[in-house]
Structure 1
Amino acid sequence: MVVRISTGKSVYGLIRYNESKRRESSAKLISHHGFSRGAENLSTQQLTQRFQSLTSLNRRTKTNAVHISLNFAPGENLKDEVLEEISRKYLNKIGFGNQPCLVYQHFDAGHPHLHLVTVNIDREGKRIETHNLGMNQSEKARKEIEQEFALVPAEKQKRIGPSIQELGKLVYGQETTKSSIQTVLNHVWNNYTFSSLGEFNAILSGFGVCAYRGEKDSERYRKGGLVFHLLDKQGKRKGVPIKASSFYLKPTLKKLKFRFARDLEKKKELCPLVKDRVVEILGKSNSLKGFQDSLKKSGILLVLNYTDTGQIYGTSYVDHLHRVGIKGSDLGKEFGANDLSRRFGLVPLSSAKPLSKGEASKFGAKVNKDWVRQTFKDLEIDPIPDFSLALSDSPYQGPVRRDRKKRKKKKDHSSES
């Protein structure tokens, strides 16, 4: 059993996501703790009010929503009463046994799994500590439950938690645009690390979504606006753009910039882990396609940006193992556009002579674009080595204190002059 834990600021968003799955018949509410009978007939708002009765007792704790997924190995088709017992025992073991909780079973993946929604404020208004919950109490509880119910241990499972297959790749014309993009945004925001719009877009592209600022001479670009599009099968923006501010998450450019600053240090910590795997694969690759395919098997997507003449001008690496997007040059010069082009016999962007259409075709520009657009449905993701995931307080919590001090100092300096 693989356990995945995340925290956030909106229990309403978590309930709305799971309830939308219920309406689509891709999930069902198999259990609820701390609710009166008939909870399955309550609206999203009514379910949320039960949790808000606790979170209102502690206004200081903003990050109070807890989302847990219990993932079982393919073939472990457990009965509802067994799944309910497992979820109840798990919650007791991690210290959430007295908390109200909604337990949903989802059917949108190749493996059985549950989603547990609760809060970390108890009936006395005290905050239940979640720091290192995944590494300490959860790991102990997982192993005990695996043994008691004869489950496949996390160490022997091939993949972990919600994956690309589970969320799927959205395609324009086949999805309800806004709700589908909202699902992707929530998933990426809560589970991935990124420190630039390019890295954010590299991750989103794998799910068929694009964040777009507009042309550089457009009013939207000048005013710092941001919209989201679904992508068609060719990877092109389609449909009416949807403003970032219209989503519940409100991933505006201003909010994203704070997120970029916050994720920068975390990304630096993950870079060496990603680089080690990329270096090994690059050394064994004889072509760009082979490099991409080998990375993909390792759970890494290489996103290439092309000019109209077919030259590579940018690279990003999306590691779904550690859930991070990294600009190629941040891993090292050899992983950037120019060095990859030279290594694999393509004309680099720094070449003085631009490629003609014939030359672009010769160097496989059209084929390369097809590689970028290939779907993720056959992507296999290996488990994280320690099989535990750190809690992720993904929603932005404001600028760091030192930024405010810098602004104050600058203001004082200007007043003195």
Structure 2
Amino acid sequence: MLDPFDATGHMSHERCMASFEPFLQANRRTTNTVFHVSLNPSPEDRLTDEHLGEIAREYMERMGYGEQSYIVFKHRDIAREHLHIVSLRIDREGRKLPHDFEARRSVEITRDLEQKYGLHPSIKGQELQDREELRKVDYQKGDVKQQVSSTVRSCLRHYRCASFGEWRTLLETFNVSVEERTGTIDGRDYAGMIYGALTDDGHGIGTPFKSSRIGKDVGYEALQRYYERSKTALKEPGALDGLREKVVDEMARCSSRAEFCERLHDKGVDAVFRLNAAGRIYGVTFIDHKQGIAANGSLLGRSFSANAFEQQFHTETMSMGVSRSTSKQPQSSSKELYQSDQLIHPLDAILELADVQTYEEQQQQIRKKKKRSMNRH
């Protein structure tokens, strides 16, 4: 690589691209040009930057990318330090590098490196292991991407949601945030999903990541098919009868929203009300954990709409307690830049990882300022 830093010591995206450009110019036919991998040592492995660099170099050499230009980013996630490596699948002569059985070879190489460097062995399928038991994501436990991917996949298997709104509400009950990103860049349409972690009170925590870091089965197109399958299933005769009966029964008994939510929760159903600034109900979603259904009140019928509940509980104020109100997460502060899961430009990968690195550095500065302020007091 050319020296990637400018005169001020900051990483220059232009300098990075200058190292990649000759490779891209030599082959304009290949569309999937970017090689991007994440290496995740155990939090118990205390490795210096020199050790991490040595591991990255040996990994790239054994994968067949040792003669390529590549960048290694180190990121910190709780106690876990991990590496991202960005390179190209095209060599200097314009030939596409072979990538047959790449995933299998990567697993074999990382296992060999674990033994060579005395590292803790990774759990089989650690990054995308799908746990059968559904649980809330706990950011403090680390392995956030693995927790989120497990929860998302389990929800896809065990629940039916007919729309993105219901899907988002369902995931938020398990401390997972989700956003749709659609638009056009340079005349090309794009559509994708962004996932992240939430605290128990619904606030975003950590850095969100694209669905492509989990898999195509949780991406935008896969979710569109999932919504359609769910719609068809929920239209079947009697599919929503059980949920309707539970809701109707408690509506007749309860005089407050808090009591209504509590009694439904005892029956395995979460009622999620959405309130405007004035405390008025403008939406409600019911999540039946036993039947595996997340349905807006309007899907159950007119008598279950937001207006119906607003009339029944109209004397309440916002402070009366809600099972959980939906909070929209702020848009990413970086850019509305999102490529499809299949096609990624090297500059996009560099920018994304640099944004994450900048974010982490900013968080470190904030923590240092807080610590200095506490010491003065």
> What is the TM-score when the length of structure 2 is the normalising length?
0.47
Asked which structure has the greater CA Rg, the reply is: 2
Structure with the larger RCO, 1 or 2 (CA within 8 Å, 6+ apart):
1
Q: Name the TM-score, length of structure 1 as normaliser.
A: 0.43
